[in-house]
């Protein structure tokens, strides 16, 4: 018996329903669904879609609240180069890149691992990059209530790279700021720090 165990869990009824839809799509584009390489593709695709959209079942604010601590530190906290992978809601093709998040505490800090977690919560949905930026920003601002929050996302979109204009080297950057990051000096410090490579 193989020692391999798949630890992911899926609702069987929902998985089967999505599987049947993928089977129909494969047939409609002209492929042979009984070909060896495609026998398990509808099920794999169904599970992949459920995994890539699991953010609908997660609550980002609850994740942040699970690791908030009172602390007097009141300088900028930055977590940068957070990998993100999402699906464009217009074509359901991937976009991927990095998020950079900063906040200035106002009596409370949050466990650093929770910031990448909330990026994943919002990224694992059908998205546009602009909304993703705003959702991350607003969640931190409303839950942690810091002096200020900043979010910058840099991403490449497969809908631009594989189809349409087919520009392989284009990168889209979105940003959002709340509170003290509306001050030019604070915002510029953040932008300088995320663009630097500290040794």
Task: Mark whether 189 and 161 lie in a shared domain.
Answer: yes
Task: Mark whether 64 and 162 lie in a shared domain.
Answer: yes
In a domain? residue 82: yes
Helix (H) or strand (E) holding 95: strand 94-104
- Please provide the average confidence, as pLDDT, over all residues in the chain: 93
Which residue among the candidates 127, 135, 139, 157 is catalytic per the annotation? 157
Question: What is the mean predicted confidence (pLDDT) over 35-55?
Answer: 96
Q: Residue 163: which pLDDT band, with cuts at 50, 70 and 90?
A: confident
The DSSP secondary-structure symbol of 88 reads E
Task: Mark whether 84 and 149 lie in a shared domain.
Answer: yes
In a domain? residue 109: yes
Distance between CA atoms of residues 21 and 33, nearest Å: 12
The number of domains in the chain is: 2
Which residue among the candidates 89, 130, 168, 182 is catalytic per the annotation? 89
Which residue among the candidates 100, 127, 129, 135 is catalytic per the annotation? 129
Which residue among the candidates 90, 142, 168, 182 is catalytic per the annotation? 90
Question: What is the mean predicted confidence (pLDDT) over 57-64?
Answer: 97
Q: What is the CATH number of the domain that holds 91?
A: 3.30.1130.10
**For the chain, how far is it from start to end, CA to CA, in angstroms?**
48
Question: What is the mean predicted confidence (pLDDT) over 1-6?
Answer: 43
Burial 97-135 (b: 16+ CB within 10 A, else e): bebbbbbbbeeebbeeebbbbbbbbbbbbebebeebbeb
Question: What is the mean predicted confidence (pLDDT) over 72-78?
Answer: 97
Q: Residue 5: which pLDDT band, with cuts at 50, 70 and 90?
A: very low
DSSP code string of 145-175: --SEEEEEEEEEEHHHHTSTT--TT--EEEE
Task: Mark whether 145 and 87 lie in a shared domain.
Answer: yes
In a domain? residue 74: yes
Tokens at 69, concatenated? 């601590």
Does the annotation count 91 as an active-site position?
yes
Does the annotation count 142 as an active-site position?
no
Task: Mark whether 74 and 171 lie in a shared domain.
Answer: yes
Does the annotation count 182 as an active-site position?
no
| Contacts of 93 by beta carbon, 8 Å cutoff, 6+ apart | 87, 157, 158, 159, 162, 163
Task: Mark whether 103 and 36 lie in a shared domain.
Answer: no
Which residue among the candidates 54, 91, 134, 189 is catalytic per the annotation? 91
Distance between CA atoms of residues 7 and 116, nearest Å: 22
In a domain? residue 148: yes
Task: Mark whether 48 and 103 lie in a shared domain.
Answer: no
The DSSP secondary-structure symbol of 115 reads H
Q: What is the CATH number of the domain that holds 43?
A: 1.10.286.10
Task: Mark whether 75 and 108 lie in a shared domain.
Answer: yes
| Contacts of 175 by beta carbon, 8 Å cutoff, 6+ apart | 133, 150, 151, 152, 153
Q: Residue 8: which pLDDT band, with cuts at 50, 70 and 90?
A: low
In a domain? residue 34: yes
Predicted local confidence at residue 164, as pLDDT:
75
Question: What is the mean predicted confidence (pLDDT) over 157-182?
Answer: 88
6 pLDDT above the threshold of 80: no
Question: What is the mean predicted confidence (pLDDT) over 22-39?
Answer: 96
Tell me the residue range of the domain where 27 lies.
Answer: 12-52
Task: Mark whether 33 and 64 lie in a shared domain.
Answer: no
Q: Residue 196: which pLDDT band, with cuts at 50, 70 and 90?
A: confident
């Amino acid at each position: 018996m193989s020692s391999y165990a798949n630890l992911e869990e899926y609702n069987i009824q929902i998985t089967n329903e999505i599987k049947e839809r993928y089977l129909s799509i494969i047939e409609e584009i002209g492929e042979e669904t009984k070909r060896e390489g495609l026998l398990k593709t509808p099920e794999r695709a169904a599970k992949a879609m459920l995994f890539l959209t699991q953010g609908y079942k997660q609550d980002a604010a609850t994740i942040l609240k699970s690791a908030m601590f009172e602390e007097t530190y009141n300088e900028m906290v930055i977590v940068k180069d957070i990998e993100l992978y999402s699906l464009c809601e217009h074509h359901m093709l991937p976009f991927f890149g990095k998020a950079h998040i900063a906040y200035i505490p106002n009596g409370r800090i949050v466990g650093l691992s929770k910031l990448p977690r909330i990026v994943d919560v919002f990224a694992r949905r059908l998205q546009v990059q602009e909304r993703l930026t705003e959702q991350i920003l607003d969640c931190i601002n409303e839950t942690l209530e810091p002096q200020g929050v900043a979010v910058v996302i840099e991403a490449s979109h497969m809908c631009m790279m594989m189809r349409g204009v087919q520009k392989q080297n284009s990168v889209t950057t979105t940003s959002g700021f709340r509170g003290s990051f509306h001050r030019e000096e604070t915002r510029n410090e953040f932008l300088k720090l995320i663009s630097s490579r500290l040794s």
